[in-house]
Structure 1
């Protein structure tokens, strides 16, 4: 049996990527991902994650996560197992002394925090959104220098 943290992460990914309208659908989706649990355990997990029901675009009521979790519904989702094995970093591009790092939805804030906490001398600071990080690079630093410094934090 997989640990609770993995199960909760898979549950968040499923809710953010599929329109699940009842607990049976959620239990089946979790089963596909390798999580066998009872309806009572699922109820406790949903309560812990503060999951609610809301009307979707087609008027059907589906499970949703609270806004502060920073998970958002995506159109072509990976399976939760694939998502948990894939790093949050997507790409990085530079223009002058500015850079943009693209991440998977919900990852920008934690990656920006790691960058800021690392005190990289070539980076003045970051601003993070949901899936984008804006970085300001010190005068004279090259994109290659920045990438080399970031390589310890992000798998470029």
Structure 2
């Protein structure tokens, strides 16, 4: 649900001039995602959305140039996930572990203390 909602947020901000969280909340509700302001705030932070001025100086939400939707990053690059005691081992496509690891590090979760990435493996 979260990834689908975040994907919808990207569609919304690409197609509309979203001025504030209240407007985004209303647009999400119209599309079947009734969420709280707190949820929107977390999504904005996790997605690294920014407020950017258009040619008229009006600030609106926009996506940073380097943002990759999390579900796309995972679905296209994670090969497998295994568990060894209290360690999770994530196997990735060759050369993508660092990018996946960076995304994992940006997620605020108390159960993820830290990550270590090689070329195709994350611990």
TM-score (norm 1): 0.42
Aligned match for 2:7, one of 6, 9, 13: 9
Task: Report the TM-score when normalising by structure 2.
Answer: 0.53
Q: Can you list the C-alpha shifts for 1:62-103, whole angstroms capped at 9, x where unaligned?
A: 0010101379xxxxxxxxxxxxxxxxxxxxxxxxxxxxxxxx
Q: Runs in 1 of length 4+ with deviation above 4 angstroms? A: none
- Give the whole-Å Cα distance in 1 for the aligned partners of 2:68 and 2:55: 20
- Of 55, 58, 79, which aligns to 1:57? 55
CA distance in 2, matches of 1:59, 1:70: 26
SS of equivalent residue, structure 1 residue 36: coil
Say what the alpha-carbon RMSD is for the aligned residues: 1.8
Instruction: Please identify, of 62-71 and 43-52, the stretch whose mean Cα deviation from structure 2 is larger.
Output: 62-71
Query: Is residue 52–residue 62 contact of structure 2 (8 Å, CA) maintained in 1?
Result: yes
**Partner secondary structure for residue 44 of structure 2:** helix
Structure 1 residues not aligned, in runs of 5+:
72-109, 111-156
